[in-house]
Amino acid sequence: MGRRLAASGASRRRAILRALGFGTAALAFAGAVAWCYHRVDRFLATDERFVLAGPDGPHGPGVQIEGIRYAPRSDILQVFAADFGKSVYLAPLAERRRQLLAVDWVKDAAVERRWPRELRVRLVERQPVAFVRVPSRQATQVVLIDAEGVFLRLPARARFELPVLTGLLPQQSLPMRRVRVECALRVLKEVGPDLAARISELDVSDPDNVLITCTTQDQALALKVGAENFRARLENFFAHYAEIRRRLPQAAVFDLRLEDRIIAEEP
């Protein structure tokens, strides 16, 4: 019995020693990994071979931009101003992407490292769908707008063949502007390119009562077309316009919302 107890105690001691050995080895391995990580991290953060050059770097700019056409290049580069002269390893890519999304014309962006010393920026720009007349204290300002209701600055030396909208303001919420832009695009799609070519402006202040401005001969006409049957109402008006002009030469505002009649409003 005493011999069995002694053997059992020795086995327990050997098991404890093995466990302590494994624990010590694990701690040593973890320490080695941490030491290696620290050395690699320091190397990537401080080695001159990974330094991001600025826009005027001797080997060219360190930030390569793809997909840019109208977005201000200077605004894009400004996003990375704090990264120039530092290792590309230290650049916070997620934060830089978030900042890029706030730049005018930028709809989406991706940022990735290109070792040893570059960042690549791939942009998706917004697509304008209309001009917008925005009233201001000094004078009416003309900007662009996309299908989501985002205002876009007019780029220099760019030409767009787009409709003109009113009734869209900076103080309106983005969803409110989006609804109004969608309304205008729906009108233009329904009337077709032949009638759309006669429209000089759409007022979408009230999406339930769209106001269309058309220029016919030497006169600008304001046409209230409501919220439906846009093509039928315009076709009916232009089919009878010669007679209307003969009888009411001074009339310039017409209500087309009643299907059986055209109402000329007092000038």
Residue-by-residue pLDDT tens, the chain, 267 positions: 554 545 556 666 665 556 555 556 555 544 554 545 456 567 667 778 889 988 776 655 799 999 999 999 999 999 999 999 999 999 999 999 999 999 999 999 999 999 999 999 999 999 999 999 988 777 888 999 999 999 999 998 889 999 999 999 999 999 999 999 999 999 999 999 999 999 999 999 999 999 999 987 778 999 999 999 999 999 999 999 999 999 998 899 999 999 889 999 876
What's the Cα-to-Cα distance from 256 to each of 41, 214, 229, rounded to whole Å? 71, 13, 10
Residues ≥6 apart with Cβ < 8 Å to 250? 267
Per-residue pLDDT at 8: 59
User: Selecting from 3.40.50.300, 3.40.630.10, 3.10.20.310, 1.20.1440.230, what CATH number does the domain 50-125 have?
Assistant: 3.10.20.310
Q: Where are the domains of the chain?
A: 2-46, 50-125, 128-264
Q: How far apart are CA 210 and CA 191, in angstroms?
A: 13
Q: How far apart are CA 201 and CA 216, in angstroms?
A: 13
For CA atoms 235, 238, 241, 242, the dihedral sign is negative
Per-residue pLDDT at 218: 76
- Contact by Cβ (8 Å): 224, 207: no
What is the fold, at CATH topology level, of the domain defined by 128-264? Rossmann fold (3.40.50)
Give pTM, 2 decimals.
0.80
Per-residue pLDDT at 137: 76
Map 141-188 to HEC letters.
Answer: EEEEEECCCCEECCCCCCCCCCCEEECCCCCCCHHHHHHHHHHHHHHH
